[in-house]
């Protein structure tokens, strides 16, 4: 199924927008020369980009629909106008090489004259003085310092590119009618790509448009292909890769049910609950703190509040945590047992008492998983970091590991705090 957030965008044909269109050259003629008959997904993406109403386009597209190819085609179409600059961002060096090779092939196909082809920096300059440049999110500083007509984030969900775009790249879209395209298969719902996708459905972001396309929009996929995929893939992986589903993430550690377990807990009565917290200590990595209430009668946990920040002093963390202690009347704080200096400083200087957490990683993960699987953890809708960690905490895919372990990523810190709290409370509460 194809879903387009803005009702003025067509999917059956490439629309004509007059002089204000973004792509100045005839798109249909270009496609014919390539031997391409655009499918409905490609039509929708092109129309969103080409429309003068939309500056930012997010496309959630299922596997095998030629996402990278159509992104590169759009990029070259823009570069065929003299003095244009296009940036193609990828999660890493290997994926940026794919786009670089595609651009070379397109240039060869149309026999375009090239002034510069720099394989090291991945920059191509055409004889019309337009440039198309490849970049990776982990080296974003190397592509700033110039203005772009179009920035494309390919496979955007594979990496956290929010800061790269907001801080480094958005200021480079300073030309009239400059635009950005974010295109990817989804990877869970609590990440920057999902956030940008939702902007296309919001009246608060009128310059944003979004497209979602499942395998049904891909005429090259046969029924036999789909049957084979369903046999060889988990349901979560199939929904993610072929249905462009934001609700699942292959490799998730915890199967948290957003539909049933996220609500507004601001007015919940905590008077009969045990209130406790988990804390993971970091500096360069963030320090994470989560507040949980347990209702003995309902046998449910309520994630009520959170705190997460990096590169702060012990005093600064203590100030925030003391405020949460007073707000929720926290009974117990379970902290990483490796953070003994923090425990001492908290007790000595800030009158904050903590307890060493139970740290068995796999046992703790299993305990939290059982709570989530049975819908026993309810999360306040304002706890965005906790919701992100429940989605993005994932297993390391390395097949050579002797023992399964989670990936150390941004989601790990709040996930650790959550695990410390829930697993430690379960194993020690009866002793109080």
Catalytic residues: 155
Cα–Cα distance between 151 and 22 in angstroms, integer? 13
CB 86 within 8 A of CB 179: no
Residue with tokens 């070379």: 104
What's phi and psi for 181, nearest 5 deg? Answer: -120, 125
CB 390 within 8 A of CB 372: yes
Cα–Cα distance between 99 and 90 in angstroms, integer? 9
CB 252 within 8 A of CB 239: no
Cα–Cα distance between 388 and 187 in angstroms, integer? 11
Cα–Cα distance between 128 and 81 in angstroms, integer? 7
Cα–Cα distance between 277 and 259 in angstroms, integer? 24
Cα–Cα distance between 153 and 342 in angstroms, integer? 40
CB 215 within 8 A of CB 63: yes
Nearest Cα neighbor of 254 from 236, 240, 242 is 236
Tokens linked to 59: 């496309």
> Distances from the Cα of 43 to the Cαs of 16, 51, 82, 217, 362, in angstroms?
12, 12, 25, 11, 47
DSSP, collapsed to helix, strand or coil, labels residue 22 as coil
| Strands across the sheet containing 85-90 | 2-4, 208-213, 56-61, 179-184, 150-154, 85-90, 131-136, 123-126, 114-118
């Amino acid at each position: 199924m194809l879903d387009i957030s803005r009702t003025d965008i067509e999917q059956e044909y490439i629309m004509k927008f007059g002089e204000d269109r973004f792509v100045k050259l005839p798109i249909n003629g270009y496609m014919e020369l390539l031997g391409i008959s655009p499918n409905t997904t490609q039509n929708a993406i092109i129309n969103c980009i080409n429309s003068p109403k939309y500056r930012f386009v997010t496309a959630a597209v299922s596997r095998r629909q030629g996402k990278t190819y159509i992104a590169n085609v759009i990029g070259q179409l823009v570069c065929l106008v003299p003095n244009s600059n296009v940036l193609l961002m990828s999660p890493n060096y290997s994926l940026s090489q794919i786009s670089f090779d595609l651009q070379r092939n397109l240039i060869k196909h149309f026999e375009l004259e090239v002034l510069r082809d720099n394989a090291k920096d991945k920059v191509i300059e055409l004889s019309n003085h337009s440039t198309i440049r490849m970049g990776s999110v982990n080296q974003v500083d190397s592509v700033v310092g110039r203005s772009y007509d179009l920035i494309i984030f390919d496979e955007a969900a594979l990496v956290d590119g929010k800061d790269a775009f907001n801080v480094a790249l958005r200021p480079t879209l300073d030309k009239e009618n400059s635009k950005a395209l974010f295109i990817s298969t989804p990877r869970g719902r609590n990440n920057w790509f999902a956030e940008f996708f939702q902007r296309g459905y919001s009246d608060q972001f009128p310059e944003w448009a979004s497209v979602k396309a499942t395998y049904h929009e891909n005429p090259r996929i046969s029924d036999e292909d789909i049957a084979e995929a369903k046999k060889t893939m988990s349901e979560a992986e199939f929904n993610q890769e072929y249905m462009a589903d934001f609700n699942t993430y292959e490799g998730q550690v915890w199967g948290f049910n957003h539909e049933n377990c996220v609500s507004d807990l601001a007015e919940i009565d905590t008077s009969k609950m045990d209130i406790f917290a988990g804390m993971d200590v970091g500096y360069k990595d963030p320090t994470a703190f989560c507040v949980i209430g347990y209702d003995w009668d309902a046998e449910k946990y309520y994630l009520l509040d959170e705190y997460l920040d990096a590169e702060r002093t012990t005093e600064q963390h203590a100030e925030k945590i003391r405020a949460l202690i007073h707000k929720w009347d926290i009974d117990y704080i379970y902290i990483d047992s490796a953070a003994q200096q923090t425990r001492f400083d908290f007790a000595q200087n800030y009158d904050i008492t903590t307890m060493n957490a139970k740290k068995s990683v796999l046992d703790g993960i299993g305990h939290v998983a059982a709570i989530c699987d049975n819908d026993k953890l309810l999360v306040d809708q304002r706890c965005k970091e906790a919701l992100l960690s429940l989605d993005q905490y994932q297993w390391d895919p390395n097949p050579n590991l002797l023992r399964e372990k989670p990936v150390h990523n941004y989601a790990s810190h709040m996930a650790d705090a959550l695990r410390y709290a829930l697993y430690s409370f379960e194993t020690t509460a009866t002793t109080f």
